[in-house]
Amino acid sequence: MLFANLNNLVIVPPRAFANTANMPPLIYSPQTKMFLTATTAEIKALQKIQKQTAGQDDQPAERYWLTYYKSLKNSRPELQKFILHCFSFVPAKIKNNSDPYNMSISFFGDSKCNLKCLYCFNRNISPAKEKPFSLHFAADVLESIYKQAHQTIAMIDFNYSGEPLLFFDKYKKLWALNQKIAKKYKKTPANMGIVTNGLLLNDKIIDWLRKHNCWLGLSLDGGAEYTNAGRGEKTFERAIANYQKIFARPEWTNERSVHATISGLNPDVSRVFTELWDTGFRQIYIKPLRSETDQPYALNKKNLPKVLKGYRKLFALLAEDIAQGRLERLLSICNRFDYAGKFLGRIMINRSVIRRCGGGYGMCSVRNNGDAYPCDTYAGRKRNKLGNIYKRVNWDKNLAPPVDELESCRFCKYRYLCGGPCPVWRDINNGDISVECAFNKALITECFRLAALIEQYPQEKKLIHEHFRYHL
Ligand code: SF4
Ligand code: SF4
Substitution candidate for ligand 2 out of 355, 378, 427 with most atoms within 8 A of CB: 378
Question: Would strands 10-12 and 283-288 be described as parallel, antiparallel, or unpaired?
Answer: unpaired
| Rounded Cα–Cα distance for residues 405 and 244 (Å) | 48
How does residue 57 score in pLDDT terms, banded at 50, 70 and 90?
low
Sheet holding 215-219, edge to edge: 283-288, 257-262, 215-219, 191-196, 152-157, 102-107, 363-366, 371-373, 387-388
| For range 356-366, the mean pLDDT | 80
The predicted-structure confidence for 245-288, as pLDDT tens digits, reads as follows 998 887 777 678 999 999 999 999 999 999 999 999 999 999 99
* Ligand 2: centre distance to CA 346 (Å): 18
Is the pLDDT assigned to residue 453 strictly greater than 70?
yes
| Rounded Cα–Cα distance for residues 319 and 18 (Å) | 9
pTM of the model: 0.79
Is the pLDDT assigned to residue 432 strictly greater than 50?
yes
Return the domain boundaries, the chain.
Answer: 2-91
Measured from CB, residues less than 6 Å from any atom of ligand 1 are 403, 408-409, 412, 414-415, 418, 420-421, 433, 437, 440-441
DSSP string of 295-345, one letter each residue: STTS--TTTHHHHHHHHHHHHHHHHHHHHTT--HHHHTT-STTSHHHHHHH
Is the pLDDT assigned to residue 98 strictly greater than 60?
no
**What is the pLDDT at residue 76?**
86
Query: Which among 211, 288, 195 has a CA at the least distance from the CA of 243?
Result: 195
**Cα separations in angstroms, 397 against 140, 356, 391:** 23, 12, 18
Ligand 1 atom nearest 441 alpha carbon? 3
282 within 8 A of 328, measured Cβ to Cβ: yes
Nearest CA to ligand 2 atom 4: 375
List, in sequence order, every residue forming a beta bridge with 219; answer none if it has no partner: 259
Query: Which among 57, 80, 72 has a CA at the least distance from the CA of 7?
Result: 57
| Rounded Cα–Cα distance for residues 278 and 210 (Å) | 24
Substitution candidate for ligand 2 out of 397, 422, 426, 440 with most atoms within 8 A of CB: 422
* Ligand 1: centre distance to CA 438 (Å): 8
> Which ligand approaches the C-alpha of residue 415 most closely?
1
* Ligand 1: centre distance to CA 392 (Å): 33
Query: Which among 284, 280, 286, 285 has a CA at the least distance from the CA of 239?
Result: 280
| Rounded Cα–Cα distance for residues 211 and 358 (Å) | 31
The predicted-structure confidence for 164-200, as pLDDT tens digits, reads as follows 999 999 999 999 999 999 999 999 899 899 999 999 9
Q: What is the 3-state secondary structure (H, E, C) of 206-275?
A: HHHHHHCCCEEEEECCCCHHHHHHHHCCCHHHHHHHHHHHHHCCHHHHHHCEEEEEECCCCCCHHHHHHH
- Higher-scoring residue by pLDDT: 96, 288: 288
**What is the pLDDT at residue 251?**
78
Nearest CA to ligand 1 atom 4: 420
Nearest CA to ligand 2 atom 2: 422
368 within 8 A of 130, measured Cβ to Cβ: yes
User: Is the shortest distance between the CB of 359 and ligand 2 below 6 Å?
Assistant: yes
| For range 214-241, the mean pLDDT | 93
- Higher-scoring residue by pLDDT: 164, 391: 164
| Rounded Cα–Cα distance for residues 198 and 168 (Å) | 13
> Which ligand approaches the C-alpha of residue 376 most closely?
2
| Rounded Cα–Cα distance for residues 422 and 440 (Å) | 11
Give the ranges where 112-234 is alpha helix by DSSP (H).
Answer: 135-146, 168-184, 203-211, 224-231
7 within 8 A of 50, measured Cβ to Cβ: yes
**Cα separations in angstroms, 262 against 124, 132, 259, 408:** 20, 31, 10, 25
Is the pLDDT assigned to residue 93 strictly greater than 90?
no
Query: Which among 113, 8, 3, 2 has a CA at the least distance from the CA of 417?
Result: 8
Is the pLDDT assigned to residue 430 strictly greater than 80?
yes
The predicted-structure confidence for 408-427, as pLDDT tens digits, reads as follows 998 888 888 999 999 989 99
User: Is the shortest distance between the CB of 379 and ligand 2 below 6 Å?
Assistant: no
**What is the pLDDT at residue 368?**
86
* Ligand 1: centre distance to CA 57 (Å): 21
